Structure 1
């Protein structure tokens, strides 16, 4: 039986909340930086 991706993401979010605020904030910063760098790289390649 396959588990929907949305449910997995919700479980991961709950797990992060259990881990604690400091780790969650750190993870959010890392994910934001990664998405920003990808966006920046894409805009540079268009030029």
Structure 2
């Protein structure tokens, strides 16, 4: 039980890191496509 729980926790951490990395990459890619006037919206979300 303990080893499987540790594996589940490790999997959740890995998945979370991947999701954060993909979301950050998508945010950067969309920011590159937006015009200068669109940058105000991205600064409000941060």
**Higher normalized helix content (fraction of residues):** 2
TM-score (norm 1): 0.58
Q: How many equivalent pairs are there?
A: 29
Aligned CA-pair RMSD: 1.2
Deviating above 3 A after TM superposition, structure 1's stretches of 4 or more consecutive aligned residues are: none
Relative contact order (alpha carbons < 8 A, sep ≥ 6): 1 or 2 greater? 2
The structure having more radius of gyration, on CA atoms, is 2
